[in-house]
Structure 1
């Protein structure tokens, strides 16, 4: 029997053979060491789980952030504030949020996404729940303008665009677009839900529930699913080709020819400053519309419920825009898609200045929504192409900071202009001119790898 067994084993591969006089422990060790180390080919790439978790966090966080538009008039009616006063809180919120992106970008580059998202979510949720207790503008400025805004920086698009970009080598633009589409669907699904909740239960209870839902969803996904990059699991990015590629170290490029540019080097290039101006203009248009769309359409006799649905469809139409932007950047670069979005915005701003019917406002909401998040997946893609991926977190974070400073400032000025003139016409006229300037600025950017 033993000779038969020995004969059978000699025809087995090396890792099945038992050496003479080998004890069970050494055999087990040799067996384990000699097992093939490749994973089953049918195993799902872990980057898809990261993408899915990013989608869900953005779904909730986006719906929560854009609930401000439907709270606007109910809070004014309840607390007696002017539009410029409540818009000042939004300006402060965007300013704090914008600067928090720089901090979260640095923390993300150093420590990874998990704990940045956890602590940011706690801060954001605490601010939203506390809003339910406000009775003065100073309290609202503190809870909404500072506390929740500081937490928002670690739970929104820039962090997840940078995160997903590290998991995908092939079709990076498409992967980022898929993850960020969660923000579009979150706005589409949750804004009408929050509108109904506000009309039925009031804005105070709504803020409490939004804060609690965000807290649970974000923390669970951050702790159980998210990972910083493929290296954490000992794997390569999706689509990585072994031949001719090496692991990227900080300060080096994938091709080993041009070093990646850090922040101090990138700001010395004209393309960086051109893109900053474009993104300031982009943010100004984005948040003027998302903040004042519902108040503006109700000024023309449209119901708050219909206005909320316009804002929701605005968010949904961002989905095809963001899904087209990623693949388009993979094929033709980022300049043309971004320039086209601002060209469309010029026409839309001019249209809404002349036509004020429900149909024209729906057209405006749908088509402006199409342009809303185009720059979100393209910003880290463009940064990577111009300066490399080593410092994509801090560079994208700073660019998005300028974007949101522009958004907060112009949303505030929209309220001031309304209080002074009784309409939004002047604000939309200036926005049309700025959008045209953004088209020109985008076309002047050199979309090529920049050297230090």
Structure 2
């Protein structure tokens, strides 16, 4: 079926864009599942009397496993293929989220939302986007990566307001059943429409020359491949600069704003539905910002792009505690700057990883860099929850998050410049 569809559309557009569309839906569903705990935080607090620090622990485990699964998932995709690896992850997500409707104790939330969902979303994550963009695209790779990365923001845009409204009217249990159903619906699309590589449907990657070799599945143990990639990468200073800058990225996005923003709005008298609506608006802006960032990373110096992204994000987070004090321009101004910048860092980071480590090793190495992102997210989720429980507000957490972003802005400028081959007509 995939080969027949590829022949039918040949000459109009490349089948790689259909693969991007399906993987976009996979990442969108995964993003909706990852966003669910932020909507559940206050209802769980009310239903079971769990503190935000307790709930943040489960979210922290989720975020950490989301990152640590990435390099092994990338190696599994190279060894077993994209389709079977992603289908297993979707099955895990659907079953795990459905089971969570029965939980009654904190350890169950840690097991289900921390371990099962964390591991599943770690496969359906930016490492998947990097693998697909590197495998299916020779040119327009940054644009494809930008579109796939933007699915995370789109997932929030689509799911958060709906989940918040359902939670407010019917409780949190129907929400987890809905996101379980979404994961189950996407699974057959992957089975039917996603080939393993361009050669499977008689094509070359987008923009690849006639003599470009086809991508083949790797041999050997994925665990060994992932650890070997880490040993190789760990000897390069650029890896650690990318790793710790992405640690800061995760701390200032998924870990802090993604986890605590709706609860923070509640501290200022803003309802969960309105707080989710603000996050959704930032999701729309990030869909624009991250797609544009992918286009820019095909053309301009990725180090300079990252400097501006981290710097502007840091300033917006330092401004955040004051934003609630302005009736009209406060939160909208924060949402504008932060939303456009939310995960715009991903395409330039993937570009730099590919430039440093090469197209073959880049997805696995990027998986380890994503592990840094999620360790940062896990740290911020736990620290922000603890600071809120201790101080009664999120002001200190906002200041710390903004400050480390400023540090990250200068850190990325120390990554050694590389001169990869760029598409014809692209600017240096």
Q: TM-score of the superposition, structure 2-length normalised? A: 0.89
Shift of residue 231 of structure 1? 2.6
Q: Pick which of 291-300 and 98-107 moved more.
A: 98-107
What residue number does 2:224 align with? none
Q: How does 1:215-294 map to 2 (within 5 A)?
A: 215-217=184-186, 219-242=187-210, 262-286=229-253, 287-294=255-262
Shift of residue 320 of structure 1? 1.3
* Residue 338 (structure 1) aligned with residue 306 (structure 2): yes
Match of 2:340 among 354, 370, 374: 370
* Residue 318 (structure 1) aligned with residue 318 (structure 2): no
What residue number does 1:381 align with? 351
Match of 1:400 among 365, 370, 374: 370
Shift of residue 39 of structure 1? 9.2
Query: CA 1:41–1:305 in 2, change beyond 3 Å: closer, same or farther?
Result: closer
Query: CA 1:448–1:263 in 2, change beyond 3 Å: closer, same or farther?
Result: farther
Q: d(CA) in 1 for partners of 2:46 and 2:216?
A: 56
Q: d(CA) in 2 for partners of 1:138 and 1:434?
A: 32
What residue number does 2:407 align with? 437
What residue number does 1:390 align with? 360
What residue number does 2:67 align with? 98
What residue number does 2:127 align with? 158
Q: d(CA) in 1 for partners of 2:146 and 2:257?
A: 22
Q: d(CA) in 2 for partners of 1:399 and 1:224?
A: 31
Shift of residue 247 of structure 1? 5.9
* Residue 196 (structure 1) aligned with residue 165 (structure 2): yes
Query: Secondary structure of the equivalent of 1:373?
Result: coil
For structure 1, which runs of at least 5 residues remain unmatched after alignment? Answer: 1-37, 252-260
Q: Deviations over 1:344-396 (max 9, x none)?
A: 11211221133323542232233212111212233332211111111122111
Q: Deviations over 1:84-104 (max 9, x none)?
A: 111111111112222211221
* Residue 133 (structure 1) aligned with residue 102 (structure 2): yes
Q: TM-score of the superposition, structure 1-length normalised? A: 0.84
Q: d(CA) in 2 for partners of 1:275 and 1:99?
A: 16
Q: How does 1:293-308 map to 2 (within 5 A)?
A: 293-308=261-276
Query: How many pairs align?
Result: 402
Q: d(CA) in 2 for partners of 1:440 and 1:398?
A: 21
Q: d(CA) in 1 for partners of 2:353 and 2:173?
A: 41
What residue number does 1:420 align with? 390
Match of 1:175 among 144, 149, 161: 144
Q: Deviations over 1:117-147 (max 9, x none)?
A: 1111111121111111111111111111111
Q: Pick which of 374-383 and 291-300 moved more.
A: 374-383
* Residue 209 (structure 1) aligned with residue 170 (structure 2): no
* Residue 84 (structure 1) aligned with residue 53 (structure 2): yes
Match of 1:62 among 18, 31, 34: 31
* Residue 184 (structure 1) aligned with residue 153 (structure 2): yes
Q: Deviations over 1:249-277 (max 9, x none)?
A: 899xxxxxxxxx95433221111111111
Q: Pick which of 377-386 and 272-281 moved more.
A: 377-386
Q: Deviations over 1:199-243 (max 9, x none)?
A: 1221012111211221221x1121011123213233211111237
Q: d(CA) in 1 for partners of 2:303 and 2:388?
A: 34
Q: d(CA) in 1 for partners of 2:342 and 2:9?
A: 41
Q: Whose Rg is larger?
A: 1
Q: d(CA) in 2 for partners of 1:46 and 1:250?
A: 20
